A = this chain, B = another copy of it.
Amino acid sequence: MGSREEIASNKQVMAKDYITGNPKAADMYLRNSTISLKLPPEASNAVLVKNLYLSCDPYMRGVKRRDANRLFYSFNPNSEIIGYGVCKVVDSKHPGFKRGDLVWGVTKWEEYSVINMTDSLFKIEHTDVPLSYYTGILGMPGMTAYAGFYEVGAPKKGDYVFISSAFGAVGQLVGQLAKLMGCYVVGSAGSNEKVEILKNKYGFDGAFNYKEEHDFDAVLKKYFLEGIDIYFDNVGGDMLEAALGNMRRRGRIVVAGMISQYDLDEPQGIKNLVNIVYKQVKVEAYTVYDYYDLYPKFLETILPYIREGKITYIEDTDEGLESGPAALERLFTGRNAGKQVIKLAQE
């Protein structure tokens, strides 16, 4: 009461309509809006944040579908893009957050956002690492890698590990965690540049460009003379079929995604499921949402690795909200060179 309301301009990235297939820059537009930097008294439990970094993630392809399934947030045409971000609290009606707190979680693609679903916000306690990491290695993708590899994959030292989309925001961490555990690690990626980084920077034992290979079964046989213990699957389809044919007894296929299968009119048939029986394979999908209780344990594991330089993480950062639509499109064409981040403000 009585304090002069401060009104700020608020640029926003809007989606025009429902989207079929992968999001393209042309599906979005920029809008100039304004926002009060003080929450109204009735906004109980809400927080108002300034968005510092926004994250482009593969799951976002599902957000804007008309038939979006329950995994994803609901969406209306002509509304802001929703996604993960790193934010600074400007005003708070929530007892758990105060002005100046740094948080990461689900926000909107705009300069300032009112967040009502505060359950998805994590307070950032460690700022000696790049803040942008909380969109990737220390955020949702990192937790996805950690839960999938350790909890679903049940890895052991010496395991033979194959990762598809190994240069993605999730895959690059899975591979490094596997190497740190003493596993043999091979990854597939979509360019020779990415393959080189996997081998030379991340220490993968092998990597190949799937776009240059025609016989995935033969490639996997070459890299896995003894077969595969853990296949960390981000793509499904042909690569899953080839991996199934090369699993070892009691192998685990951790399904983080099947990006090759989402937009097919006629989904591909996988013909060798009988290998599941022959080799007593486990195929398990999961969602990171079921594992967030492990987040403190996850930080305890990953932060020291980052500080000691034992894990690195490559980001592909664009500056400014205006770059968002093109950055999101680039993610789905594989032309990003690391975890795709949009930087809005320093703090």
Contact = CB atoms under 8 A, between A and B. Distances in A.
Interface of A: 69-71, 236, 240, 249-250, 255, 257-258, 261-262, 266-274, 276-287, 290
A236 B274 contact: yes
Given A255-B277, A277-B255, A272 B267 contact: yes
A282 B285 contact: yes
Contacts of A276: 255, 258, 283, 285
Report, nearest first, the 9 A-B pairs whose CB atoms are least far apart: A269-B269, A283-B283, A282-B284, A261-B274, A276-B285, A267-B271, A269-B271, A280-B285, A277-B285
Contacts of A272: 267
A282 B280 contact: no
Nearest to A272: B267
B280 A257 contact: no
Contacts of A278: 69, 71
A257 B262 CA distance: 28
Given A268-B269, A280-B285, A285-B281, A274 B258 contact: yes
B287 A284 contact: no
A287 B258 CA distance: 28
A297 B122 CA distance: 44
B274 A273 contact: no
Contact of A282 (B70, B258, B266, B282): B282
20 contacts: A69-B278, A71-B278, A236-B273, A250-B290, A255-B277, A257-B277, A261-B274, A262-B274, A267-B271, A267-B272, A267-B273, A268-B269, A268-B271, A270-B271, A270-B273, A280-B285, A280-B286, A280-B290, A283-B283, A284-B284
Contacts of A280: 285-287, 290
Contact of A273 (B71, B261, B287): B261
A277 B258 contact: yes
Contacts of A257: 277
A282 B236 CA distance: 15
A249 B249 CA distance: 27
A287 to B, nearest CB: 5
B267 A274 contact: yes
Nearest to A241: B269
Contacts of A249: 70
A335 to B, nearest CB: 24
Contacts of A70: 249
Contacts of A255: 276-277
Contacts of A266: 271
A271 B267 CA distance: 6
A237 to B, nearest CB: 9
A283 B141 CA distance: 24
Given A262-B274, A279-B285, A281-B285, 11 more contacts: A236-B274, A255-B277, A258-B273, A258-B274, A267-B271, A269-B269, A277-B285, A280-B287, A282-B282, A282-B284, A283-B284
A192 B69 CA distance: 38
B69 A273 contact: no
A234 to B, nearest CB: 10
A315 to B, nearest CB: 26
Nearest to A250: B290
